[in-house]
Amino acid sequence: MLFFAPVSRYYSYFNTAVNFVRSYTHDEPFASFLKKQFAADKKFGSRDRKTIAHLCYCYFRMGHLMENESVQERMITGLFLCSVSESELLLLANPDWNEKAALPINEKLQMLHLTATDLFPFVDELSGGIDADAFCKSHFTQPDLFLRIRPGYKETVLQKLTDAGIGFEMKSETCVAVPITTKIADILLLNKEVVVQDYSSQQVASLLNSVKSFDSAQDGLQTLRLRSGSFQHLTTPISVWDCCAASGGKSIMAKDILDQVELTVSDVRETILFNLKKRFAEAGISKYKSFVADLSAENLKLPSTAYDLIIADVPCSGSGTWGRTPEQMRSFESASIDSYSQLQQKIAAAVVPQLKQQGYLLYITCSVYKKENEEVVQMLQQQCSLQLIEQRLLKGYHEKADTMFAALLQKR
């Protein structure tokens, strides 16, 4: 017998979750909305909040499937599709489905006569190389939490995780996957020992590692050669501008990989750079320049500085991260793809003049749409005279991670 609590409590969970979903207006992340709802009603304990939140997210993970059905019907179906084992909730909602909870997602969808690719908006707009079926099915599974171990802290990090009894998986020499519910800040020193960074985002490092040389005789920059993941014989720091720095994750990674850098960061709001300053302090980065800039502004004026490397992790649809925020699938509109693409082209074109000759632009999105990815890279080649060195679609859907796009281009 699975029930350990009154049936009425579980009906209450469903009713509350349905009411929350119906009252959500998509004008803020659902996690923020949910936090406010629970704060306004103190009757929910920790287990109650966790269960209600899970039901809500099961509903959102349905995306556009069964759009003509009721919220509760879609929520229960989502609960079935997201479950990997029997549960009290599913037993109450549908005993027959509960017995089949451990079936592979393919068999569940077939049983319900559903097609996975119907859940994601504008599948025909996906970047080339994405397995649409596998990508869409991945949205029934919550992504993991990934940590990037900073140089010199691997043994310390693994020992602390082991001592705390945290199960983890090494995805690479520097990447650790832990359960999404892990309270990492209670175990590790964030930003000093580890950086919370998605697995696909960490793989952007491979494009930094693919830069074999920065050879610019006219700028007096010494040739650099990469060996075993670090630059050797470096006497002149690399000038790096993270032009859409946000929380600074890519800047910290560039510092860890390239070592000696002259770092400049910018973003559109002062508050972003203020939060970044705190994170840099924790990461031990004290020497850097920063400024506020709206890179999409018509009369943009930038400091007269040229850089060896510009990192442009541009604003995007975020569609490659909707496994973490599935509510986005319900509210996203086709016109937004074009809007983001135009914004990205404007930002990318604005920063290219700041590149030194032979300098590199690292273009990054967490989007799965080709208009935000390959088509922007084509524009940079055709209109900005950049040469494509390498581009990668970072498919996280087989790894319980985000899906991202990155391209390295050179000014010649």
CA distance 313 to 201: 10
**pLDDT digit string (tens) for 62-118?**
999 999 999 999 999 999 999 999 999 999 999 999 999 999 999 999 999 999 999
What pLDDT is stored for residue 211 in this prediction? 65
What pLDDT is stored for residue 2 in this prediction? 45
What pLDDT is stored for residue 379 in this prediction? 97
CA distance 114 to 271: 45
Q: Mean pLDDT in each 10-residue stretch from start to end of the chain (412 residues)?
A: 64 95 96 96 91 98 97 98 96 96 98 98 97 98 97 98 97 96 96 98 89 43 41 68 96 93 96 95 96 94 93 98 97 96 97 95 98 98 96 96 98 90
- Identify the sign of the CA torsion 277, 279, 282, 288: negative
Where residue 57 falls (left for φ over 0; alpha for ψ -120 to 50; beta otherwise) is: alpha
Rg of the chain over CA atoms, in angstroms? 23
Contact 391, 377 (CB under 8 A): yes
What pLDDT is stored for residue 8 in this prediction? 83
Of 59, 49, 53, the closest CA to residue 79 belongs to 59
What pLDDT is stored for residue 5 in this prediction? 56
What pLDDT is stored for residue 130 in this prediction? 97
Contact 402, 319 (CB under 8 A): no
- Identify the sign of the CA torsion 171, 176, 180, 181: positive
What pLDDT is stored for residue 42 in this prediction? 85
What pLDDT is stored for residue 41 in this prediction? 87
What pLDDT is stored for residue 236 in this prediction? 79
Contact 290, 266 (CB under 8 A): yes
Where residue 26 falls (left for φ over 0; alpha for ψ -120 to 50; beta otherwise) is: left
Q: Dump the DSSP string for 77-100.
A: HHHHHH-SS--HHHHHH-HHHHHT
What pLDDT is stored for residue 303 in this prediction? 87
> CA geometry: angle at 92 spanning 88 and 93, to 5°?
115
Of 240, 210, 239, the closest CA to residue 225 belongs to 210
Side-chain half-sphere exposure of 365, counting CA atoms within 13 A: 29
